[in-house]
Amino acid sequence: MPAMTPEALLPLDGQRILELAARSMFELFANASEGMLLVDRHARVAWINDQYKRFLPALGFERPEDFVGQPVSKVVQNTQMHRVLETGKPILIDLLSNRAGTFVVSRIPLRDEAGKVIGVLGIVLFDHPETTLQPLIQKFAALQRDLDDARRELATQRRSKYTLASFIGSSPAAVEVKRQARRASQSSSPVLLLGETGTGKELLAHAIHAASARARAAFVSVNIAAVPDTLLEAEFFGVAPCAYTGADRKGREGKFKLADGGTLFLDEIGDMPLALQPKLLRALQEGEIEPLGSNKVVPFDTRVIAATSRDLGALVREGRFREDLYYRLNVLPVKVPPLRERRGDIPALAEVLVEDIALRNATAPCELAGEAVATLASQAWRGNIRELRNVLEQAAMRSDSQRIEVSHIEQVLRDAGIDRLPPAPQPHAVPAGVPPTVLRPLAEQVAEVERRAIEAALQATGGNKVAAAKMLGISRAKLYERLELAVP
């Protein structure tokens, strides 16, 4: 047949050229591919080419006529031909594994003149991808390993870092805090951690999660004071796909959904903008959120622990914090005492902090002189444990040896302008290095513990003395007796 000249093509219209191109492409794939299969609009096998017939024995068929006419999902395991038929969208490159082996395949919808899908053409591009596509498969496997490693690392980062044993101290105040935290861990109700900055509220949040039934799930934290007001809603509730110009097409999950099944820690809750507080209240009450730019509600199962160094009661009275949200969060309040109220814990805390500082700096831990410990125990510590750590770190840097002397501590304190507490009355001489509070009369210390326990119980029950007595495991008469003794 003579070759066609350009002039000979001129009378042909566009439709005719497309038909010739389609026929040429079909013949090319039929001859060059490893096999072709055609299904009709009912997802039944309508035709296979000669190359495809060699797969039939592995698929469980001896003759082509037993294969053709069958539903494709019945005779070809893991096929996606019916999916292309339903959606009308091609799957240009895919890996198919079944009894006949692993193949690189392509699936293309076929349409009639009206554009209606009338069938699907399946093409086996490679029948030994492990050999033909080895470099690509290796690269894919490496990417998959990196993704798995990243997911494991992210999961590790979202686990709790501390336990109740991490809250150092054996003073009555420290023991009481750990008791309340242990009790809070057995509930799914919201917890409100109250205390000055640097007292260890975040550590306690981690510890409550670690001791709870949710310990294996995620621990997600948000510092509200560190997130701009305009971004807080998206941070909490997530963003729907294409919610606004520039938004991710896949959307983004918020912290509530990331913590689903686990714990969400809301640090500095007192800094939450007033306009966002009703949405937080609704999420806590209904157990569902509405992502930014979405009309659908998404359920979640998240235990909330909130913390603040501010006086929420005062903020409520000033109209800067919603009263209903305050009551929703203040179900299990835990007051974390300042360091100056548990000075007996300072020696143990200082020892742990010195070791941690050395570990982070990859150096040997310093030894603390007895007089240095006594000096530390006499300070007011407005910044609490965070301030104590800073002083120890500075003192370690100033020491030319592996020992921190009282002179190093005093120099840091003078430079920082840290206040001393007024000296406590001491009827007996106190050995060097031992905090005065440890040597108070035992009855005095026990009375103080009882007083704090009663205050905490009354606060937790909203002043209900009957409920407070039940919570403390004592009779109502005993509670009234203790309250009368507490009155000066």
Backbone phi and psi for residue 315, each to the nearest 5 degrees, phi listed first: -65, -35
> Would you state the pLDDT for residue 9?
47
Structure tokens at 369: 């002189």
> Would you state the pLDDT for residue 242?
64
Structure tokens at 38: 């055609």
> Would you state the pLDDT for residue 113?
84
Residues of the chain under the 70 pLDDT cut: 1-15, 18, 129-138, 140-141, 144, 147-159, 242-249, 418-447, 477, 480-481, 484-488
| Residue 144 burial (10 A CB sphere; 0-12, 13-18, 19+) | exposed
| Residue 322 burial (10 A CB sphere; 0-12, 13-18, 19+) | middle
Structure tokens at 68: 């053709």
Element (H, E) at 374: helix 370-377
Closest by CA to 361, choosing from 394, 404, 383, is 394
> Would you state the pLDDT for residue 256?
92
What are the chain's domains? Answer: 14-126 (3.30.450.20), 176-337 (3.40.50.300), 341-429 (1.10.8.60), 442-486 (1.10.10.60)
Element (H, E) at 156: helix 134-157
Angstrom distance (rounded) from CA 268 to CA 283: 18
> Would you state the pLDDT for residue 428?
46
HEC secondary structure over 167-179: CCCCCHHHHHHHH
Residue 382, number of CB atoms within 10 A of its CB: 14
Helix 442-460 vs helix 476-486: crossing angle, to nearest 10: 120
Q: Strand, coil or helix: what is 103?
A: strand
Closest by CA to 452, choosing from 292, 299, 341, is 341
CA distances for 118 relative to 27, 42, 44, 82, angstroms: 20, 8, 11, 12
Cite the DSSP H helix spans in 417-460. 442-460
Reported pTM: 0.58
